[in-house]
Amino acid sequence: MAVVGPTCRSGSGVAIAAANNRHSAQHMSASSTAHNHHNNPSMASMVGSGVGTAVHTLHTQHNAILAAAQPFYSNSHSLNTQDMQPDRPIGYGAFGVVWSVTDPRDGKRVALKKMPNVFQNLVSSKRVYREIKMLCFFKHENVLSALDILQPPHIDFFQEIYVITELMQSDLHKIIVSSQPLTSDHVKVFLYQILRGLKYLHSARILHRDIKPGNLLVNSNCLLKICDFGLARVEENDSSKLMTQEVVTQYYRAPELLMGARHYTSSIDIWSVGCIFAELLGRRILFQAQTPIQQLELITDLLGTPEPSDMRYACEGARIHIQRRPCKASSLASLYNLSSQANHEAVHLLCQMLVFNPDKRINCSNALSHPYLEEGRLRYHSCMCRCCHSVGSSRRYVTDLEPLAQSAFDYSFEKDLSSVHTVKGVFTSRTKPLVNELTALFVLPFAERLHKLILEKCSLSSLSNRVPLCINPHSAAFKSFASSTVAHPSELPPSPHCWE
């Protein structure tokens, strides 16, 4: 039984609590943790060389969370805790741990994602800052967004972020590998929602860059939401500007990425959707190889040897590799063997997604207009969506069933983040202490900026009569949740395959 209330007595659940003062985190006394000043590896690069006011151990961080979590709800806001589900972990990823918790303000179950040690290095700082900005920007039923962000501690103790999102019970990967039957209706309604959410992202000029079944959350009503925007970025119109190659999980990586393209478009997401579509039909990964080269060869085995004009995005080494292999004809007809659900309409749409040349690949809008998805659209808007509503025995549909973003995502902050890597790269040949000092100088302003962004989000919650939330240290689950750790990206991303 989860316990929340004015005294927050110990119980078996709630990892979050409501604060009745939105500035409580900032009013934390520095003297309460002064006796714990030691070196903290995760903060050393941020506050070393006189940049910060102090460095603290993880024990100090723990105390900071305790102090930031008070005061709590007044008696008038106490919830009836009977039959309240216990807090529990529901997912672990490379950049966060997700728990199912109860929102003490209304008793609803929500997902709480912890992003620990977010300012450990420039890579994680950039990723988290971008993801938080996007989660606050999104307003679409098929895209995961931030319902709330927990009140941060004082900037001196700001090392981790807690984001509340809608609770989704599963994801598409778990469903595909399960024994649960997937009907044609399931496939159509899932694919419709993926493309509907992706159309919204692309209209905001956002490339997801890691579309895969595990990043497609599904609830008990089959509502689907695209999640995990750590690798997402705004589409670059200037083809002369180089883009990261090591994006997208290998099985879902488009051929232009496998062939070393340094500039790409939203078509890479469509390729990923095509791979997932085939996986939904066949209940197995379509292109499952051990290495990027083998991945590319599996693709050419299915699509046939591409024409030279279809490889204009590829680097010279990749083109030579393809041209040296025996010329192969297309075997796309084998897609009919995926399952009995792979009918003509399904394979026709799938073949338009799995096109070698990204310029010839179908886009989201045209894919949504394909006859195969008519039933999926009807089913979704008849009984699943929140945009349409029933009046008596009739159903009223909105004018735009697949809305675009109201504006493009503002990515001006990316220029500042990119300049950090540029300046830091100049000094990589210098001594390590100097590089660490540069990290401290550049990461700290981003920490301050993100801290301000979260405080503004908490202020907006107060204006909408929603009490800001913070960690509840009196929960029995708190110790386990606070100690949850995850892996972090290295300073440099893994090197792509060298074709030259």
Concatenating the DSSP letter of every residue in 124-148 gives HHHHHHHHHHHHHH---TTB---SE
- Distance, in Å, from the CA atom of 332 to the CA atom of 336, rounded to the nearest integer, reads 8
CA atoms within 13 A on the CB side of 482: 23
Backbone φ and ψ of 143, nearest 5°: -130, 125
Q: How far is CA 200 from the centre of its chain?
A: 15
What dihedral do alpha carbons 182, 185, 188, 192 form, nearest 10°?
Answer: -110
**199 labeled binding residue:** no
8 Å CB contact between 55 and 44: yes
Q: List the catalytic residue out of 210, 228, 269, 310.
A: 210
Please say whether the beta carbons of 262 and 244 come within 8 A.
no
Under the phi-then-psi rule, with left for phi > 0, alpha for psi from -120 to 50, and beta for the rest, what region is 286?
alpha
* 210 catalytically annotated: yes
Query: DSSP labels for 162-218?
Result: EEEEE---EEHHHHHHSS----HHHHHHHHHHHHHHHHHHHHTTEE-----GGGEEE
Give dist(CA 206, CA 202) in Å, integer.
5
Q: Per the annotation, where are the binding residues for ATP?
A: 113
Q: Per the annotation, where are the binding residues?
A: 113
Catalytic residues: 210
